Chain A
């Protein structure tokens, strides 16, 4: 069974640029969530995707957007990058029926905005 994978591992961008991060969910998991973890903080929920539609969003501006594909993989897109967007971006997947809300996290993508 393959776990959650993310690409790339690290990324450096400059302010104002756009970035796309990718996530492959664990086999059999149809729900994907994205989190942002700033240094010294806990992960913060960005949004969740289920059946290719956004299904819940945290307190993030519209320049954070996403996609989910028929194979349940997902992308996170961030436009007009700001310095504060520098963080570890985590993808998590789960089966829809996870009663305890357990999610399986990937290793993350470290984004640095200069």
Chain B
């Protein structure tokens, strides 16, 4: 049962344009949603998070939008840079239970073309 889904395995974007990565979830009992970026041979790196009580959070070039009625969140990167090329994971933290338990999606490989 995949509670967090990333339906696009890959995305290709031109440098300077906007990258939009999408994520859907099925469980309404998530407290926080997080985005992680992963380069090959490295562990995931935290990018940005959003509380379930908010609908937008912005940090520099990265903005996360949360649509609770649609159980959907998205990460916008603008402008996209070649160094942004990596696998992006959406993750959710269930309410209660282990504080560090994250449920990850399967990831989206972003390629930013120069």
Contacts and interface: CB of A to CB of B under 8 A. Distances in A.
A55 B43 CA distance: 22
Interface residues of A, number: 31
Contacts of A104: 46
Contacts, number: 81
B43 A106 contact: yes
Nearest to B98: A56
B100 interface: yes
A100 B49 contact: yes
Interface of A: 4, 31, 33, 35, 40-45, 47-48, 50, 55-58, 90, 92, 94, 96, 98, 100-108
A48 B99 contact: yes
Contacts of B36: 105
Contacts of B51: 100
Interface residues of B, number: 28
Contacts of A107: 41-43
Contacts of B19: none
B106 A42 contact: yes
B35 to A, nearest CB: 11
Given A90-B43, A102-B49, A105-B44, A31 B34 contact: no
Nearest to A46: B101
A42 B105 contact: yes
B93 to A, nearest CB: 4
Contacts of B20: none
A108 B43 CA distance: 6
Interface string B68-107: 0000000000000000000001010100011111111111
Nearest to B57: A100
B31 A43 contact: no
Contacts of B105: 42
Contacts of B31: 101
Contacts of A31: 99-100
